[in-house]
Amino acid sequence: MDDLRAGLNEVDCDVLVIGGGTAGPMAAYRARKKNPNAKVILLEKANVKRSGAISMGMDGLNNAVIPGHSTPEQYTKEITIANDGICDQAAVYKYAQNCYSIIEELDQFGIRFQKDENGEYDVKKVHHIGTYVLPMPNGDTVKKALYRQLRRARVLISNRYMATRLLTGQSGRVAGTIAVNTRTGEFLVIRAKAVIMCMGAAGRLGLPTSGYLYGTYENPTNSGEGYAMAYHAGAKLANLECFQINPLIKDYNGPACAYVAGPFGGYTANSKNERFIECDYWSGQMMQEFYNELQSGKGPVFLKLNHLHKDTADHIEHILHTVERPTRGRFHEQRGTKYADKMIEMHISEIGFCSGHSASGVYVDEFARTTVPGLYAAGDMASVPHNYMLGAFTNGAIAGEHAIDFADEVDFEEFDETAISLEQERVLAPTQRDDGLPPNQIEYKIRRLVNDYLQPPKVTAKYELCQERLAEVREDMNTQMMARDAHELMRCMEVASILDCADMAAFASLYRTESRWGLYHWRSDYPDSNDEDWKCHVLLSKQDDAMTCEKHPVAPYIIPIAEDEKDAYYKQRITAQA
Amino acid sequence: MVFEPFEDESDFELLADKLGEDDPAVRRVAVMDLADTADPEAIPLIASTVKDESPEVRLQAAIALGEFDGLATATALCLLLQDTDNRVIQAATDSLSELKDPASAEPMLDLTSHDNAKVREGALLGLKQLRRPDAMANGIEAMKDPVPAVRIQAVGVVGYLKAEEALPALIASCKDADPEVRRTAVGALAFSRSSHAKDALLVALADEHWAVREIAAEVLGKHSEGLDGQKLMPLLDDPYWQVRVKAVRSLGKLRVVEAVDKIGSQLDEVTSNLRKEAAAALGEIAEKSALPYLEKLVDDPDPDVRKNVRWALGRIG
Amino acid sequence: MPLANTPTSVPVVVDDEKCIADKGCTVCVDVCPLDVLRISDLTGKAYMKYDECWYCMPCEADCPTDAVTVNIPYLLR
């Protein structure tokens, strides 16, 4: 294993799904279900059994729109407001209308959600405006159940292939992809009538405070290939300046999941034991409050459960330590921290792109279509904001069903065959050098620069310096990066994506000369929001081989938001008199 | 050079041969590979190992069968549920609870009065998920089981069926000696709108265990018709704030005007979750007499409390 | 410029006594999202070849013989 071999294989299919994490399996499954005669391939860099953000499962849904507890209209309003109004509602509304049927389908797959003693979904109340939290006590079975359904549906699964570039035709339509085997370096060319990208967040962009390259908030396999590949294929990417930054357990760097503890009475507190978060929803506003508290004399910030009954605290601890990131229990055990006794120190994550938690993603409409014909995107890498796991499943399903119909109508797109040999040459370049820089060193340098210069608060002069440094690193990468085996070659390709994402993060942030979305896009030299000029999307794309940005209007709202409804949020956010 | 880019198609002949190997580790790996196929053709092959001499192979079979469904799968799992090795029993229990096909219930129905309590528990857990009405009799019978863990699952089977005719049995379980059985039974009464259920819930408000009082207070909040909400008021003096939170919530939902002063007194609590819920409940009741209580808390140190106070003040207007 | 070998203490530990990789099991190697485990040509047992670990645990959770332990990487501990 790992020894490089020469090889090239070509296959074709109706629908190709790239990425077997959360959205991808659902897209492939629904495409096959809708047209059982179609050939559907699911390509995965790791192994579908345990890949992606939910490799070990998930402990709950925090955006479940369940009849009787909340309505699609309510949810759409909330997401619009949480996103400072910059939101194409059609996709959010469609998600909200469809997600309950997805919950029922997942339940049939064997993914069990918390039920009361009558077997009804046990939705937890968090606040007045809507109720969206549905715990998943057996959430560790998610991937297993998905894999089982894929096998039963006879989806063709291709593990350990990393897609490196999309193929496009003369008309600009997508024609397929080129992938490289991560254990042999052999190439696979897949021609497809439609391609759905479900390649996750760009989670290896910033460097975690621990300094460990792989100690990221996101699964580090999610290194931003989706963003980079979409960019190089000419797709537009939306609001990349709206970074993902999340509240985490310090050092462990896993999610604190205060929303899981919330219904039981747990909350985020400062060192004076006081709740301080004014914002209801996980958003840039909330992260700004978190950041301010960390910087103030009242920091650090903690997850507080030690005021609860011991049974309750132990119960929450048990949920949090068994699902999503189960080594969390091991981390606390080593430090001797019990949730029932002691508050748990929290911190903020490194930056990344992830629409799942913020709004940075490949621009898609309500059918998950990107701006490239035949190319779809779903999950953390697509621009539907605050989407989380259930959004990935739901939009994956929408993408799968739309793509299979699209594929039925068209023939394969012709493309220039020389693209294949050119891409092989690009990918294999690091293997042609027997002296040079290993990918881990280049990666460390890029991500260290991201932390030094790109983390909010965003300062123009620092951003411009960063662009200079990153250009130097790019030169090193192009001329000196070296791989000794297929595994290192995979890391080299990831480094290229990480660098592309860092460039995009800097470029998009400089373009939007205002502050918005709280901490996500806090520009200290433009500290105020400017609705007049900037209440719009920023779309980044490649034009004539250069990065460009453009303004794009927000689609007219389907669910109007009255001024006093905005107030319903903000009025409650009045701060205490000192 | 051409290579195969897709996951291997299943070679059942080869895997069947491996199941005949002397080395138990090889047989075990074969069982895992059979599970991976997700092909029903693998079921009889895996089922052929339920009497394997190696407990590890049987354990793997119990895990593997969780990937399948239907009568044949359930029959094999029910044999593994009666294994001598506790790990096998646990894995069989877990896999039984994964089954969805109603036909899977057949072999489980025969095991709810088995000699071994672990077997009874596993069979009932499997039956609960399947919600077959003909499992009701088994459930009701098992609610008298000597082992509390079995009774909990039995209440689960009956509770999931949501049938009025099972009410007497569920109400009887609300007085069970074991608090977890009582808690489950009280929770299971949520579906019923009958006065018997309501009476049993009111009795449960005085249960000696806080978790039973907590769920009783919560469930009563869903019983709006014909309930004298004032009966929840004594719970506002409960020593456990968790119970008081649920009582406050339900009093708010039921809009019990008489409770305003007692809820107002909860606003002095140290636990901010309680202050928050009390403010919300006063908003739901929306009585002018709550104003002085709420106004005191406009500057509460907890933002969540302040938000709820604002909301409540807005409702009272 | 030649490359150095910088040592790191790896988080994933395999108990060779329990590991049945030599009987054809490849579960831990298959499920690792970062593909950092390999089966040793020398011993026939699984081991961590690359220190690129998300301490996510599929290798430990899915190992049929409980041979794998995932520790928290030292830098985070």
Quote the CA–CA distance of B234 and B244 in Å, as a whole number: 9
Q: How confident is the model at residue A136 (pLDDT cuts 50, 70, 90)?
A: confident
Query: Mean per-residue pLDDT for B201-222?
Result: 95
Are C55 and A55 a contacting pair at CB < 8 A? Answer: no
SS (H, E, C) B114-150: CCCHHHHHHHHHHHHHHCCHHHHHHHHHHCCCCCHHH
Are B3 and A7 a contacting pair at CB < 8 A? Answer: yes
Least confident stretch, A118-127, A297-306, B92-101: A118-127
- For residue B195, pLDDT over 50 is answered with yes
Number of H helices, E strands in chain B: 19, 0
Cα distance from C73 to chain B (closest Cα, Å)?
30
Cα distance from A338 to chain C (closest Cα, Å)?
16
Confirm or reject contact between C31 and chain B (CB < 8 A). no
Are B311 and A186 a contacting pair at CB < 8 A? Answer: no
Q: What is the mean pLDDT of chain A?
A: 92
Chain C residues lying within 8 Å of A251, measured CB to CB: 76-77
Domain A247-348 classified CATH 3.90.700.10?
yes
Quote the CA–CA distance of A410 and A572 in Å, as a whole number: 53
Chain C residues lying within 8 Å of A220, measured CB to CB: 34, 52, 54
Q: How confident is the model at residue B38 (pLDDT cuts 50, 70, 90)?
A: confident
Q: Which CATH code is given to the segment(s) A1-244+350-537? A: 3.50.50.60
Quote the CA–CA distance of B91 and B74 in Å, as a whole number: 13
- What is the per-residue pLDDT across A331-385, written as a single tens digit (0 to 9) for each? 999 899 899 999 999 999 999 999 988 899 999 999 999 999 999 999 999 999 9
| Domain harbouring B309, CATH code | 1.25.10.10
- For residue A82, pLDDT over 90 is answered with no
Are A128 and B242 a contacting pair at CB < 8 A? Answer: no
Question: ∠ at Cα B132 (B129, B133), nearest 5°?
Answer: 135
pLDDT of A58: 87
Q: How confident is the model at residue B172 (pLDDT cuts 50, 70, 90)?
A: very high
B16 sits in which H/E element: helix B12-19
**Mutate: best of A49, A214, A249, partner C, most C CBs <10 A:** A214
| Structural domain contains residue B142 | no
Are B190 and A157 a contacting pair at CB < 8 A? Answer: no
Quote the CA–CA distance of A304 and B273 in Å, as a whole number: 12
- What is the per-residue pLDDT across A187-238, written as a single tens digit (0 to 9) for each? 999 999 999 999 999 999 999 999 999 999 999 999 999 999 999 999 999 9
Q: How many residues does chain C have?
A: 77
| Structural domain contains residue B308 | yes
Are B190 and A312 a contacting pair at CB < 8 A? Answer: no
Are C54 and A49 a contacting pair at CB < 8 A? Answer: no
Question: Do the strands A536-543 and A546-553 form a parallel or antiparallel pair, or are they unpaired?
Answer: antiparallel
pLDDT of A312: 86
pLDDT of B286: 93
Quote the CA–CA distance of A379 and A218 in Å, as a whole number: 13
* Comparison of pLDDT for B232 and B7, the residue scoring more: B232
Backbone angles phi, psi at B51, to 5 degrees: -110, 15
Confirm or reject contact between B49 and chain C (CB < 8 A). no
Task: Name B195's Cβ contacts closer than 8 Å, sequence gap at least 6.
Answer: B226
Using CB atoms within 10 Å of the CB of residue B270, give its burial: 0 to 12 exposed, 13 to 18 middle, 19+ buried.
Answer: exposed
ipTM, two decimals, is: 0.97
Backbone angles phi, psi at A11, to 5 degrees: -135, 165
| Residue A196, token pair as written in the block | 């759905």
Domain span at B306: 228-317
**What residue of C is the nearest CA neighbor of B63?**
C64
Chain centroid, CA A37 distance in Å: 32
Quote the CA–CA distance of B185 and B207 in Å, as a whole number: 13
- For residue A476, pLDDT over 90 is answered with yes
pLDDT of A257: 77
Closest by CA to A379, choosing from A126, A9, A87, A17, is A17
- What is the per-residue pLDDT across A430-464, written as a single tens digit (0 to 9) for each? 999 999 999 999 999 999 999 999 999 999 999 99
Cα-based distances in Å from B177 to A78, A140, B218, B243: 46, 33, 21, 21
**CB interface of A with C, residues 279-318, below 8 Å:** none
Task: Name A234's Cβ contacts closer than 8 Å, sequence gap at least 6.
Answer: A168, A172, A371, A372, A541, A542
- What is the per-residue pLDDT across A516-552, written as a single tens digit (0 to 9) for each? 999 999 999 999 999 999 999 999 999 999 999 999 9
pLDDT of A577: 38
Are A117 and B7 a contacting pair at CB < 8 A? Answer: no
Cα distance from A203 to chain B (closest Cα, Å)?
28
Tokens 């929303």 sit on residue: A259
Tokens 């004539």 sit on residue: A544
Backbone angles phi, psi at A559, to 5 degrees: -110, 100
Nearest by CB to A214, from C1, C52, C70: name it. C52
pLDDT of B3: 57
Are B2 and A159 a contacting pair at CB < 8 A? Answer: no
Give the residue ranges of DSSP H helices in A219-264. 225-232, 258-261
Are C35 and A215 a contacting pair at CB < 8 A? Answer: no
Query: Mean per-residue pLDDT for A61-80?
Result: 90
Chain A residues lying within 8 Å of B162, measured CB to CB: 118-119
Chain A residues lying within 8 Å of C10, measured CB to CB: none
pLDDT of A62: 84
Q: Which residues of A7-43 are buried (b: 16+ CB within 10 A; e: fewer)?
A: eebebebbbbbbbbbbbbbbbbbbbbbbbeebbbbbb
Tokens 């910087």 sit on residue: A295
What letter does residue B286 receive in the DSSP assignment? T
Query: Mean per-residue pLDDT for A133-156?
Result: 88
Q: Which residues of B124-161 are buried (b: 16+ CB within 10 A; e: fewer)?
A: bbbbbbbebeebbebbbebbebeeebbbbbbbbbbbbb
pLDDT of A404: 98
Highest mean pLDDT of the ranges A56-65, A266-275, B75-84, B94-103:
B75-84
* Comparison of pLDDT for B135 and A323, the residue scoring more: B135
**What residue of C is the nearest CA neighbor of A480?**
C1
Give bridge partners of residue A540 from the DSSP assignment.
A237, A549
Nearest by CB to A572, from B131, B272, B310: name it. B310
Backbone angles phi, psi at A38, to 5 degrees: -80, 150
- For residue A125, pLDDT over 70 is answered with no
Using CB atoms within 10 Å of the CB of residue A165, give its burial: 0 to 12 exposed, 13 to 18 middle, 19+ buried.
Answer: buried
Backbone angles phi, psi at A370, to 5 degrees: -85, -175
What letter does residue B290 receive in the DSSP assignment? G
| Residue A96, token pair as written in the block | 């909200």
Cα-based distances in Å from B15 to A421, B68, B73, B213: 40, 17, 18, 55
Are C65 and B32 a contacting pair at CB < 8 A? Answer: no
- Touching partners of C (3+ C-beta pairs < 8 Å): A, B
Q: How confident is the model at residue A128 (pLDDT cuts 50, 70, 90)?
A: low
pLDDT of A575: 44
Query: Mean per-residue pLDDT for B97-122?
Result: 96
| Topology (CATH level 3) of domain C12-70 | Alpha-Beta Plaits (3.30.70)
Give bridge partners of residue A429 from the DSSP assignment.
none
pLDDT of A280: 67
Number of domains in chain B: 1
Cα-based distances in Å from A543 to A61, A363, A549: 39, 16, 10
Least confident stretch, A180-189, A260-269, B204-213: A260-269
Domain parsing of chain A, residue ranges: 1-244+350-537, 247-348
Q: How confident is the model at residue A576 (pLDDT cuts 50, 70, 90)?
A: very low
Cα distance from B28 to chain C (closest Cα, Å)?
9
Nearest by CB to A275, from B39, B162, B303: name it. B303
* Comparison of pLDDT for A60 and A410, the residue scoring more: A410
- Touching partners of A (3+ C-beta pairs < 8 Å): B, C
Tokens 């791989």 sit on residue: A483
Least confident stretch, A240-254, B159-173, B302-316: B302-316
Confirm or reject contact between B272 and chain A (CB < 8 A). yes
**What residue of A is the nearest CA neighbor of B131?**
A119
Quote the CA–CA distance of B227 and B212 in Å, as a whole number: 19
